């Protein structure tokens, strides 16, 4: 069964460093998403991406965040200068075209900022 894959599974970084989280969405999907979940809290929407551009972003997704689809398979989330409060699980998801479709999630990257 096709799945969304994310790497790395765990990333530790120093405050102020840049990190790139990587995702390989399901191959025929056209919509891509990033979500995050701070420990003990709910899953929060960050950004959606379609047709090589951001289609919607939340207020969490400020200028420190960016997304890119550098080639035909990868979808990345970059955090330019990490803060302690960026520590969270980051989930990538993808979905097919149309309203009546489900989004599939990866297993997440645990980001720890020290």
The site for another protein (CB under 8 A) is made up of 4, 31, 33, 35, 37, 42-45, 48, 50-51, 55-56, 89, 91, 93, 95, 99-108
Q: Pick the closer one to another protein by CB: 85 or 102.
A: 102
Residue 27 Cβ vs another protein, minimum distance, rounded to whole Å: 17
Nearer to another protein among residue 14 and residue 51 (C-beta): 51
Measured from the CB atom, the residue of 3 and 17 that comes closer to another protein is 3
Separation of CA 24 from chain center? 10
In the complex, least distance from residue 101 CB atom to another protein, rounded to whole angstroms: 8
DSSP secondary structure string for all residues of 28-66: T--EEEEEEE-TTS--EEEEEEETTEEEEE-TT--TTEE
b/e per residue 64-76 (b: at least 16 CB within 10 A): ebebebeeeeebe
């Amino acid at each position: 069964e096709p799945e969304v894959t994310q790497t790395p599974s765990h990333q530790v970084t120093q405050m102020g460093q840049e990190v790139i989280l990587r995702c390989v969405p399901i191959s025929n999907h056209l919509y891509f998403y990033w979500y995050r979940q701070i420990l003990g809290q709910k899953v929060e929407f960050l950004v959606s991406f379609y047709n090589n551009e951001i289609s919607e972003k939340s207020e969490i997704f400020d200028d420190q965040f960016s997304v890119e689809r550098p080639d035909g398979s990868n979808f990345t989330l970059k955090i330019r200068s990490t803060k302690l409060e960026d520590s969270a699980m980051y989930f990538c998801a993808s979905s097919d075209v149309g309203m009546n479709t489900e989004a599939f999630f990866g297993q997440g990257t645990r980001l720890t900022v020290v």
